[in-house]
Structure formats: C-alpha cells, structure tokens
Structure 1
Amino acid sequence: MPPRRQRDRVSEDALTDRTGRGWDDWFALLDAWGGTGRNHTEIAAHLRDEHGVDGWWAQTVAVAYEQERGMREAHQQADGFTVNASKTINADAAAVHLAVTDDRKRRDWLADAPLRLRTARAPKSARFDWGDHARVNVFVVARGESRCSIQIEHSRLESADDVEPTREYWRARLDDLKSRLE
C-alpha cells in the first residue's frame, strides 16, 4: 500500500461527523467493493447511491481514495492538475475585481500572463483562458467594507511538476497586486 497523502485531506473528525465513517472505514469498504478497478465517477456514484453520502462528500472520499490507492496524484483532476493561491487585501472587492478584469489595470500586476477573459461577475468572479489549454478562475470575497480576499484557481495544468511553480507564480503576483492596492 502506498503512503497516505493526507496533506490536503479533510480531518477525520469532520469526515466522520458528515458521513458516519472515518477514512480507514471508507477505504476498506471501497476496497471490498473493488474500488481500485473503478473510475472516479463510479466510486462517487457508489458512495452517493449505495451509502447515502452527499455529493460533495462523495467526491471528497472518492478523490482521497484514488490518491490513497495510487490511482490519482495530489492536485490531479480529470482534465489535468489544479492549484490554488489566495491573499487578503485591504481594499474593497470592486477595486480588486476591476484590477483583475480591466486589461490595462491587470497589465500593471500581471503583464506576462496570457489571459483571455471568458466571463466576469462584478465584484465576485472572473474566468479566463490561460493560453490555449489552461483556465484561471478568480473569486473575490468581501470581508468588510474595505477588505477582501482574492482566490485564484489555475486548472488544466499538464503535470504535477507544474503545480508548485504555478502556485509560487500566483503568490508573487498576488503580493504585487496587494502592494499596488493597499
């Protein structure tokens, strides 16, 4: 059995509280069912349909099981790898959203990004194409009148080797954005 990959896993207590079982129990149950020979959709559906696990929790257990059994790497999704970065900024959500969606303002802190805006919902979200394949989703959450958090989700990365460099890239870019808005 490969070593556990618990870095991003929901706590045992939270899982047990919401699903009635802990990690080892779910993994044993899925092993007995033949989970390692099933795909993600089948595992999640089995958890939902046969064991009454709510959708998000079924997905969470299925992903953790796949990682635990070496069927999926950390940060791996069906369409590639996904990484997240976030920052709290002492600025209102509308100003942060504008700094993301306005081409001229965005170039000030993100000059080298091959972004193409897909959709935007001011002041809460924006979705971009990154080059020809990847996607970037931006979420802005107000934390009061003049404070908010910005969360970046960069998906469809080609390999696990892209995860940490991409996370570091976004952390540096968000630091720059913060310094310009505060």
Structure 2
Amino acid sequence: MSTGSTGSTGKTGKTGKTGKKITEKLTAAALTEATGKDWLGWFTVLDKWDATSRTHTEIAHHLCEQHGVNGWHAQSITVGYEQERGLREVGQSRDGEWKLGVSKTVDASPERVIEAFADESVRRRWLPDSTLTVRTHRPAASLTAEFDDAFGGVSRIDVRLTVLAPDKVRIGLGHLKLPDAQAVATYKEFWRDRLTDLKALLEG
C-alpha cells in the first residue's frame, strides 16, 4: 500500500474503522481485578461526578486522587469514558486531533535506527514515494518531521526510541495532525508495513 504524496491511499478495510475501543481491549474482568470496578461501575462513578463537563486531565486526576486508581488505569478509564460518552472517537484525542501510534522492536543499535529516518538515502530504501522533512533530530534518541500525507495535508511524525539492549530498541512512532478517522486507519496500516520493512532492512 502506498500513501506517499504521489501514491494512492490504498484500502482501509470494509468498515474504515481506526481500531477497537479501549473497552474492547481491556476486559471488564481485568479492570475489576486491577481497580475494584468494571467499566459500568466506573462510568457510573464518573457520571455522578458530571465528568462530561471536565477535561481529560481533570478526570484522570480525580480517579487517581479520589479513588486511588493507578496512573495507567486512570488514563485507560478516562479514555474509555470519553469514547463511550461520545467525547472522542477511536484514534482521536479529546481536543479533536486525529492521531495514531505504532511500535516495532528491532535488533539494531539506536544510532542506526534514527539514522534510517534521518538519512534520506537510507530512508528511501524502506519509505519510498513519501515526502518527509526532518525538523528535529536527536541521534540515537528521537526525531520529528513534517509528512506530506496522501490526503492533501501536512501532518507530523514523532519517533522515539526505547533502548532495550545495546543492539535492541523499540521504535515508537506517532503520526499526528491527521484529517479524519479514515486517515488514521490508512496510516496505521501503512506504518505497520513500513516499520516491518525497516526491521528487515536493519536486521538483514
């Protein structure tokens, strides 16, 4: 699938959905075991607190401070509540921004991984037909860039590395400022494919 500035957007699937809601990924049983309440229980608590009128940060803080929920589950409950109450869609932030995140573990040094994004001659080998303009570059650590997407806009790429061993890193790639849910679905598939190609290049 090509989604560069000169290519086609490819298929997003029959439904064009961006993915599962967090309530589908984190089961009620697992949430109850970790926090003492299932999704319906937490939604009831938040409704009584009039959470639809609060910000994302306020909701998460309330869950942590008033109900003793750990940070990760507080964020998950908050996102689940916002999705359930129509305050955001899957792939959309509370402020309305469409974005996505993908990751891939690669057996290569962090220096080589970041250079594969920063060096155009290397980048063309795994990311052809795409226009990417590097804005910030921290060797062996992170990179940000503007990306001419296939939907006629300029979105943003944010790459950050987690070093797992001297020659093993996890790539975290965020694609921000996308126009809509279709773009999120398209580019989630696109970046999964491209990072698979990058892994093959660096490990080959």
Shift of 1:57: 4.4
Q: In structure 2, what is the Cα distance between the partners aligned to 1:106 and 1:30?
A: 46
Q: In structure 1, what is the Cα distance between the partners aligned to 2:55 and 2:100?
A: 22
Q: In structure 2, what is the Cα distance between the partners aligned to 1:38 and 1:155?
A: 24
Q: In structure 1, what is the Cα distance between the partners aligned to 2:146 and 2:33?
A: 38
Contact 1:9 1:64 in 2 (8 A): no
Tell me which residue corresponds to 1:164. Answer: 185
- Residue 41 to residue 25, structure 1, CA distance change in 2 (3 Å): same
2:140 to 100, 105, 123: 123
Q: In structure 2, what is the Cα distance between the partners aligned to 1:54 and 1:143?
A: 25
- Residue 159 to residue 105, structure 1, CA distance change in 2 (3 Å): same
Contact 2:22 2:76 in 1 (8 A): no
Q: In structure 2, what is the Cα distance between the partners aligned to 1:96 and 1:163?
A: 24
Q: State which drifts further: 49-58 or 32-41.
A: 49-58
Q: State which drifts further: 139-148 or 65-74.
A: 139-148
Tell me which residue corresponds to 1:173. Answer: 194
Unmatched 5+ stretches in structure 1 = none
Q: State which drifts further: 107-116 or 92-101.
A: 107-116
Amino acid at match of 1:119: T
Secondary structure at 2:165's aligned position in 1? coil
1:83 matched to 2:100: yes
In the superposition, the TM-score normalised over structure 2's length comes to: 0.71
- Residue 113 to residue 139, structure 1, CA distance change in 2 (3 Å): same
Q: State which drifts further: 106-115 or 166-175.
A: 106-115
Amino acid at match of 1:67: Q
- Residue 120 to residue 16, structure 1, CA distance change in 2 (3 Å): farther
Cα deviation 1:138-157 (Å, max 9, x = unaligned): 12233323332222111221
Q: Percent identity?
A: 39
Tell me which residue corresponds to 1:63. Answer: 79
1:153 matched to 2:174: yes
1:112 to 93, 114, 129: 129
Shift of 1:71: 2.2
Contact 1:118 1:127 in 2 (8 A): yes
1:143 matched to 2:178: no
Amino acid at match of 1:139: R
Q: In structure 2, what is the Cα distance between the partners aligned to 1:105 and 1:23?
A: 46
Q: In structure 2, what is the Cα distance between the partners aligned to 1:49 and 1:94?
A: 40
Q: In structure 2, what is the Cα distance between the partners aligned to 1:8 and 1:99?
A: 35
In the superposition, the TM-score normalised over structure 1's length comes to: 0.79
Tell me which residue corresponds to 1:32. Answer: 48
Q: CA RMSD in A?
A: 2.8
Structure having greater relative contact order (Cα 8 Å, sep ≥ 6): 2
Shift of 1:21: 4.0
Cα deviation 1:85-141 (Å, max 9, x = unaligned): 222222222111111112322222223223222222221211122235421111223
Q: State which drifts further: 79-88 or 63-72.
A: 79-88
